[in-house]
Structure 1
Amino acid sequence: MKPAILNCFALRKRLLSRMTLGFAAGPLTVLTFPPFSILLLVPVAYSALFVGLRDLSFGRAFLVGWAFGLGQFGFGISWIAESFYVEPERFGALATPAVAGLSAGLAIFPAIAAVLFVEIARRGAMGSLLACLLFATSWTAAEWLRGHVLTGFPWNLAGYALVDYAALRQPAAWVGSYGLSFLTVFVAALPGAALMAVGRQRLIISLMPLAGIVTMWAVGTLRLQSDAPQPPDVDLRIVQGNVPQEEKWAPENREATFALYLELSTQPGDFDVLLWPETAFPGFLDEDAQARARIAAALPDGSVLLTGVPDRVLSEDGTRYFNTVQAFDDTNEILTGYAKHHLVPFGEYVPFRGWLPIERLTAGLGDFTPGPGPRTLALPGMPLVAVAICYEIIFPGHVVDDMFRPDWIFNATNDSWFGTSIGPEQHLASARMRAVEEGLPVIRAANTGISAVIDANGEIIARLDTGERGIIDADLPSAQPPTPYALFGDWMLLALILASWSWALAANATANYRRMRKTVMQRCG
């Protein structure tokens, strides 16, 4: 019995050490994203998980992957707690349980990646290169699921570690952010594979990360050096009011908030398009003729305003509420609008409301209704524009109407919910990746931090940080021709994975053939 007990104790100790390694490595991934962008930690984090999963059973691999995810999301989305303290007397007590519960749930996706990797690897002997490829494929499959299951939450994808590196983020124009994650994790796992390799193979695998980075850099540099189209002659003005969230919807503050946006909008300077953030007007603007008249008086001749506003529509089922961006011209006319289609659970609606006795975090008369989906808006005399409200910008391939390609993307948001945390920087990273994927400039208006002008390569041209009040006057950057990802979406990811596996299997077969031939010749000699 003693050897059996000792063996069981050793296995438990081994599992605990692997889970501890995973839990410690998970938060390192957050340090690879903005605002930190420590690129050297990418191979440290993913190689640690890659090594920690070797020789594990299904259940143990799940626990190690889950521990990694718990560390990753526990640190990476801790900023969500800030939103519960906007009204601390109502929601403050829920902050820690909410972050812990969401982190534990999201950690299931790294756990899925871990068991996929372990179970497939167990079914056939594979070399270090194929093992890294399998690890990257499993991770990417789990990230894709995270972006689509239920409402989806593709936040802090592995590829976003490259967003602050101009050339390295450009491959997303071909394969999207999920494809960039695949490339990132594959290269990042190679040092771990090198640690477990022996002899000449260790040297070869040790050199491969450098080769992968150089290849991605070269591909990205070629895109950056391509001729940019002539920019449209359109002047923008972005207004960032920096109104504290806890004050924004108080009835006694609504006039002051509206007056502030008008004052900032009428500062000296010319513009064609005026951009206000999500729910900048704290009321139903289409029902307020007086407020629209004041806006029209502030607009130069021929200019338009795009502003975030709540909207309501009477129907047979009662009043339906929408989170919208509406366009107004200098004649007091409503031109067009867009209704947010990807709503925030518990922020804009309560899932399973009949069963869950939970209040929404945001003020309002009722749950928001989702709009019909991505839409391209036509404004008189202006380039076509797509609209993404708040966190809609985090969804790769779901921002632009594929039937009517716009010339730019307007992202109206309100990140004041998250204070001075790392959340707004992570949110901005998603917006920059949508610009690269679609080959379109993204113009971001935030109630407070981070308003920005982003060109079609994901470069920030101008920005206003969290806590700043002011305006950005800038030219609208030019759009690039449709990227492969804009044309084919996540089919490009599938093509990348298939091509990578074809190359790796061919290389593996060639190496096996050479070894077999060498053995035969030695025997014959």
Structure 2
Amino acid sequence: MNLIWTLPAARVISLPSRMTVACAAGGLAVLTLPPFSILLLVPVAYATLLVLLRHLSVAKAALVGWAFGLGQFGFGLSWIAESFYVDAERFAALAIPAVAVLSAGLAIFPAIAAALFAGVAQRRAIGGVLACLLFATCWTTAEWLRGHLLTGFPWNLAGYALVEYAALRQPAAWVGSYGLSFLVVLAGTLPAAAFLARGRHRWDIPLLGVGIVVVAWNAGTARLQLETPGPSGVDLRIVQGNVPQQEKWAPENREATLTRYLELSTRPGPVDILLWPETAFPGFLDEDVEARSRIAAAIPAGALLLTGVPDRVSMDGGTSYFNSVQAYDQSGEFLTGYAKHHLVPFGEYMPFRGWLPIDRLTQGLGDFTPGPGPRTLALPGVPLVAVAICYEIIFPGHVVDDLFRPDWIFNATNDAWFGTSIGPEQHLASARMRAVEEGLPIVRAANTGISAVIDANGDLAARLGTGETGVIGAALPFAHPPTLYARFGDWTLLALIFATWAVGLAAGLVGTHRGNKKTRTETKSCW
């Protein structure tokens, strides 16, 4: 289906005007994501960007893509500024500059996608549906690079527009979140192809987008209807202490913090696994005999505690600090632990220390040391558990040990840094997508929210909102068998892209052959 793309007036739109519109479209892309999830804005945002890239050189296309990314990340990550006001005296002045610099840096990835698209589309004279396919491929490639280069930051992927739509998010079990991004952007740009095409084919193109949605919806519905076991019989209690970040580490508040967690933990009700969030205990618990004794008294008979705590280990070269989750039994005995391996730059360690004249945002005695990687913990009397601390949960395909599959994932986090902004909702969305991808339930304990129990389909079985103090009592959901994505990871994304391109090229050849019989003029692209 090789089509002529018209609208020659687009040639005269100035570059600054295109960048301004692209920046606004990037902001609209954020509204497609949680907590807004306005799905109808997907074609508005991505189709607009595709139209703006017409007739541009690679360099100018990169600038337009960068402007889109600036709007996308400037709005989508604005909540990061909240963390600078936790210690306002030292860091408040850096809030806006830091968000601006981060947004400008991350906007390089949409710029890469736009430049790749412009270079290939112009050289190969690609238009119509194939142009949409090319753009979706370039966009997904750039998102994948964003999730892997340097430390990686796969936040607010385009595919997360489907998080709130149960059936539509299920294909992530087969192609992952990057695969969902490919499908979302492909379907979202097809209206641009219809708008710019001429002839009777322009009315066929929207049907392709509808077809993608219908196929995804039916496939997802079929997965949701698969028979699932009943309650696991394992009773959870998630404690959300709701201690403000400004107060958490003050020595005079330590006793009040521990007392609050103990009171919430001992409320009536069955408990097999007691779950406290990231750094719930403001100290080195394994070194504090008195605190362990008090906590042991709060753990019901036969139950276990999983809690986030800082940890330190003395070595020949000095002391190493870890952000960890530790397991304790009812006697207060330390059973095992997990050390966070994917640390937050500037928050848990300072990259280029010695070069940059600033300290990290979080309080502590030194930079954290990364742990060895994803682990599955075998604890007495409970299903096998993987641990992901804070933003480790945002990385598709990197949250569980592939050689020792767990039965569930415990996500201990502390989103108190970000108050009541949209950040915690976006973080929760990532956790829900990991549940679908891995086919595993995720239990989330957050200091100030959002704590939740997420089943293996990504549904919220229970939730405690931001700023609430309380507990969640719920049964641990069962796991699904390993998903296709859990088995093969992002190789399924490559298979999806290759298969879609094969269908698109075949359809293009058929359309070109038919068009040649009618008129030679319909075979030229205007890219």
User: Normalising TM by the smaller chain, what interval?
Assistant: over 0.9
Is residue 375–residue 387 contact of structure 1 (8 Å, CA) maintained in 2? yes
Per the alignment, in what secondary structure is the counterpart of residue 311 of structure 1?
A: strand
Is residue 241–residue 469 contact of structure 1 (8 Å, CA) maintained in 2? yes
Q: Report deviation, 1:17.
A: 1.4
Per the alignment, in what secondary structure is the counterpart of residue 260 of structure 2?
A: helix
Match of 1:251 in 2: 251
Match of 2:27 in 1: 27
Is residue 84–residue 91 contact of structure 2 (8 Å, CA) maintained in 1? yes
Q: Aligned partner of 2:26: which letter? A: G
Match of 1:83 in 2: 83
Cα-to-partner distance string for 1:41-100 (whole Å, 9 max, x where unaligned): 011000000111011001110110000000000000000000000010000000010000
Q: Report deviation, 1:296.
A: 1.0
Match of 1:404 in 2: 404
Cα-to-partner distance string for 1:224-276 (whole Å, 9 max, x where unaligned): 00111344210000000000000000000001100100000000111100000
- Pairing of 1:171-320 with structure 2 (within 5 A): 171-320=171-320
2-structure distance, mates of 1:519, 1:90:
70
Q: Aligned in 2, Cα 1:191/1:11: closer, same or farther, shift over 3 Å?
A: closer
2-structure distance, mates of 1:138, 1:11:
23
Q: Report deviation, 1:300.
A: 1.1
2-structure distance, mates of 1:29, 1:385:
35
2-structure distance, mates of 1:76, 1:59:
25
Q: Is 1:59 equivalent to 2:70 in the alignment?
A: no
2-structure distance, mates of 1:300, 1:519:
80
2-structure distance, mates of 1:11, 1:172:
39
Cα-to-partner distance string for 1:464-503 (whole Å, 9 max, x where unaligned): 1111000000000010000000000000001101111111
Is residue 436–residue 456 contact of structure 2 (8 Å, CA) maintained in 1? yes
Q: Aligned in 2, Cα 1:508/1:13: closer, same or farther, shift over 3 Å?
A: closer
- What number of residue pairs does the alignment pair up? 511
Q: Aligned partner of 1:89: which letter? A: E
Q: Give 5+ residue unaligned stretches, structure 2.
A: 1-9, 521-527
2-structure distance, mates of 1:244, 1:403:
38
Match of 1:373 in 2: 373
Is residue 278–residue 412 contact of structure 2 (8 Å, CA) maintained in 1? yes
2-structure distance, mates of 1:512, 1:395:
41
Q: Report deviation, 1:369.
A: 0.1
Q: Is 1:151 equivalent to 2:151 in the alignment?
A: yes
Q: Aligned partner of 1:86: which letter? A: V
Q: Aligned partner of 1:194: which letter? A: A
Match of 1:110 in 2: 110
Match of 2:503 in 1: 503
Is residue 231–residue 479 contact of structure 1 (8 Å, CA) maintained in 2? no
Match of 1:456 in 2: 456
TM-score by length of 2: 0.96
Match of 2:4 in 1: none
2-structure distance, mates of 1:392, 1:331:
30
Match of 1:130 in 2: 130
Is residue 121–residue 127 contact of structure 2 (8 Å, CA) maintained in 1? no
What is the identity percentage for the equivalent residue pairs of Structure 1 and Structure 2? 74
Is residue 229–residue 480 contact of structure 1 (8 Å, CA) maintained in 2? no
Q: Is 1:119 equivalent to 2:119 in the alignment?
A: yes
The structure with higher relative contact order (CA 8 Å, sep 6+) is: 2
Match of 1:3 in 2: none
Q: CA RMSD in A?
A: 1.3
Per the alignment, in what secondary structure is the counterpart of residue 512 of structure 1?
A: helix
Per the alignment, in what secondary structure is the counterpart of residue 366 of structure 1?
A: coil
2-structure distance, mates of 1:352, 1:275:
35
Q: Report deviation, 1:291.
A: 0.9
Cα-to-partner distance string for 1:181-202 (whole Å, 9 max, x where unaligned): 0000000000111110111111
Q: Report deviation, 1:518.
A: 5.8
1-structure distance, mates of 2:196, 2:211:
19
1-structure distance, mates of 2:241, 2:109:
38
2-structure distance, mates of 1:389, 1:418:
16
Match of 2:434 in 1: 434
Per the alignment, in what secondary structure is the counterpart of residue 123 of structure 1?
A: helix
1-structure distance, mates of 2:141, 2:53:
17
Per the alignment, in what secondary structure is the counterpart of residue 508 of structure 2?
A: helix
Per the alignment, in what secondary structure is the counterpart of residue 391 of structure 2?
A: helix
Match of 2:486 in 1: 486
1-structure distance, mates of 2:13, 2:237:
60
Per the alignment, in what secondary structure is the counterpart of residue 79 of structure 1?
A: helix
Is residue 412–residue 444 contact of structure 1 (8 Å, CA) maintained in 2? yes
Per the alignment, in what secondary structure is the counterpart of residue 14 of structure 2?
A: helix
Q: Is 1:424 equivalent to 2:404 in the alignment?
A: no
Q: Aligned in 2, Cα 1:260/1:27: closer, same or farther, shift over 3 Å?
A: same
Per the alignment, in what secondary structure is the counterpart of residue 233 of structure 1?
A: coil
Q: Aligned partner of 1:232: which letter? A: S
Deviates more, 1:385-394 or 1:291-300: 291-300
Cα-to-partner distance string for 1:324-377 (whole Å, 9 max, x where unaligned): 000000012111100000000000000010211211110100000000000000
Q: Aligned partner of 1:90: which letter? A: R
Q: Report deviation, 1:512.
A: 2.0
Match of 1:359 in 2: 359
Q: Aligned partner of 1:199: which letter? A: G
2-structure distance, mates of 1:57, 1:518:
32
2-structure distance, mates of 1:492, 1:210:
23
Q: Is 1:95 equivalent to 2:78 in the alignment?
A: no
Q: Give 5+ residue unaligned stretches, structure 1.
A: 1-9, 521-525
Q: Report deviation, 1:12.
A: 8.7
2-structure distance, mates of 1:239, 1:44:
41
Per the alignment, in what secondary structure is the counterpart of residue 38 of structure 1?
A: coil
Q: Report deviation, 1:513.
A: 2.5
Q: Report deviation, 1:13.
A: 5.7
Q: Report deviation, 1:519.
A: 6.6
TM-score by length of 1: 0.96
